[in-house]
């Protein structure tokens, strides 16, 4: 009833033919983002909802309604030509990068040395302005190309692009491994920002990213030469707006998608998680994840491969006869990365 009342209050949804074809969660994200004056959420900013809060009203997470046959899943991928992929931290765990929320091993469970008031503070903009050291220490470890390389999952998504099947790749990750694979700029949207550029958090002036990297690796705190504000990579912190391109392109890409693939995410951080519910109700959706999440299981064409993500990728590539292509791509790219490192 709450969602129904909220949607009835959303004049944008009621009067827009495109939005009227989208799922309730997508409508609701539009509604919430446009109602900062009502104290719901800031305009288009990064927010997290607890997993107990469900926009789908508990309609998802029903394995009995989900296609899990890898042969049929491979057929859907083979027959698709406008695939939208969304990925989260679970995609990069095979590269050795911990995700954020896994008990004991996740990043948030291993921040006690920083004496944070709560784990998410390390990625909150106001906290960073006053105390940049915790984030800078984390960034030193996870700066792209320093300690970690892309894994099979990244190359699988790149292979979708090479095969002419990928419309757009939306990534929640800030580890930069997607860039190391070589995605074309127009083919990837880094919804939570990038390590490729940096700027001052106060005056917004750009800052040389190589100089930032050098100082972080030397355990120095970089500051703006003009206003002395703290410098950070252009990652989206809690309390900051997502890139304009995310809002310009996500809805329309999903509207015309013939398959959505969701990889390695808890679907807890919005507005990014809203992509999962943005396609039309009858558009096939494939979840490749350790667990069933979000509203998967609530739609008639939902599919899922659960468990180890790399194993699931192997199964799909085997059915599509893509194993050799993927292995060759990975080998060649890793040789290039060794040269540039």
pLDDT category of residue 275 using cuts at 50, 70 and 90: very high
Q: How many CA atoms lie within 13 A of 302 on its CB side?
A: 24
Question: Which of residues 297 and 196 earns the better pLDDT score?
Answer: 297
- Dist. CA 138–CA 57, nearest whole Å: 36
Name the more confident of 241 and 280.
Answer: 280
In whole angstroms, how far apart are CA 44 and each of 29, 187, 192, 199, 253?
9, 22, 12, 20, 18
Measured CA to CA, the distance from residue 290 to residue 309 in angstroms comes to 7
Q: What whole-number distance in Å separates Cα of residue 144 and Cα of residue 212?
A: 13
Catalytic annotation on 192?
A: yes
* Cβ atoms within 10 Å, residue 200: 20
Question: 323-333 burial string, b = 16+ CB within 10 Å, else e?
Answer: eeebeebbeeb
Contacts of 299 (CB under 8 A, 6+ apart): 281, 282, 285
Looking at residue 66, its pLDDT comes to 96
H helices, E strands: number in the chain = 12, 11
Of 136 and 145, more confident: 136
Q: Which residues, listed in sequence order, are joined to residue 45 by a DSSP beta bridge?
A: 241
Helix (H, G, I), strand (E, B) or coil at 251: helix
- How large is the average pLDDT for residues 134-163? 90
For 94-123, what is each residue's pLDDT tens digit? 998 876 656 655 566 557 777 888 888 888
Name the residue among 203, 167, 207 with its Cα closest to residue 187.
167
Choice among 27, 192, 281, 311 that is catalytic: 192
For residues 292 and 287, give the distance between their C-alpha atoms in angstroms, rounded to a whole number: 8
Place of tokens 């006690």: 112
Q: What is the DSSP string of 37-82?
A: GGTS--TTB-EE--TT--TTTT----GGGSB--HHHHHHHHHT-SS
> Which pLDDT band, with edges at 50, 70 and 90, does 138 fall under?
confident
Give the tens place of pLDDT for each residue, 49-63.
444 333 443 455 678
Does residue 33 register a pLDDT over 70? Answer: no
Span 174-185, pLDDT tens digits: 888 998 999 988
Buried b / exposed e across 14-32, counting CB within 10 Å, b at 16+? eeeeebeebbbbbbbbbbb
Q: What is the mean pLDDT of residues 39-50?
A: 44
Q: By three-state DSSP, how is residue 339 classified?
A: helix
Helix axes of 152-162 and 323-340: crossing angle, nearest 10 degrees: 110
- Averaged pLDDT score across all residues of the chain: 82
Check if the beta carbon of residue 63 is closer than 8 Å to that of residue 309. no
Residue 135's pLDDT band (cuts 50, 70, 90): very high
Say whether pLDDT at 152 is over 90. yes
Helix (H) or strand (E) holding 284, with range, is none
pLDDT, one tens digit per residue, over 289-337 is 999 999 999 999 999 999 999 999 999 999 999 999 999 999 999 988 8
């Amino acid at each position: 009833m709450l969602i129904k009342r909220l949607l009835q209050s959303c004049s944008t949804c009621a009067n827009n033919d495109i939005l009227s074809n989208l799922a309730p969660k997508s409508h609701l994200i539009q509604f919430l983002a446009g109602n900062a004056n009502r104290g719901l959420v800031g305009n288009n900013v990064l927010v997290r909802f607890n997993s107990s809060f469900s926009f789908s009203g508990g309609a998802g997470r029903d394995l009995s309604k989900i296609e899990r046959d890898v042969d049929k899943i491979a057929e859907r991928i083979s027959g698709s030509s406008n695939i939208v992929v969304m990925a989260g931290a679970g995609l990069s765990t095979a590269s050795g990068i911990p995700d954020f929320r896994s008990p004991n091993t996740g990043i948030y469970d291993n921040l006690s040395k920083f004496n944070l008031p709560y784990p998410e503070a390390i990625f909150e903009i106001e906290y960073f302005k006053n105390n940049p050291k915790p984030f800078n220490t984390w960034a030193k470890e996870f700066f792209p190309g320093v300690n970690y390389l892309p894994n099979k999952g990244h190359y699988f998504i790149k292979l979708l692009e090479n095969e002419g099947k990928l419309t757009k790749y939306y990534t929640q990750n800030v580890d930069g491994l997607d860039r190391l694979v070589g995605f074309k700029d127009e083919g990837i949207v880094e919804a939570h920002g990038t390590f490729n550029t940096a700027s001052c958090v106060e005056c917004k002036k750009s800052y040389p990213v190589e100089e930032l990297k050098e100082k972080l690796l030397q355990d120095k705190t970089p500051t703006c030469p003009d206003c002395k504000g703290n410098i950070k990579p252009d990652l989206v912190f809690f309390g900051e707006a997502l890139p304009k391109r995310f809002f310009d392109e996500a809805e329309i890409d999903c509207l015309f998608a013939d398959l959505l693939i969701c990889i390695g995410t808890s679907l807890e951080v919005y507005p990014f998680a809203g992509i999962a519910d943005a396609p039309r109700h009858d558009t096939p959706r494939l979840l490749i994840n350790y667990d069933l999440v979000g509203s998967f299981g609530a739609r008639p064409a939902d599919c899922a491969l659960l468990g180890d993500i790399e194993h699931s990728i192997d199964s799909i590539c085997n059915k599509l006869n893509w194993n050799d292509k993927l292995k060759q791509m990975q080998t060649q790219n890793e040789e290039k990365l060794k040269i540039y490192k």
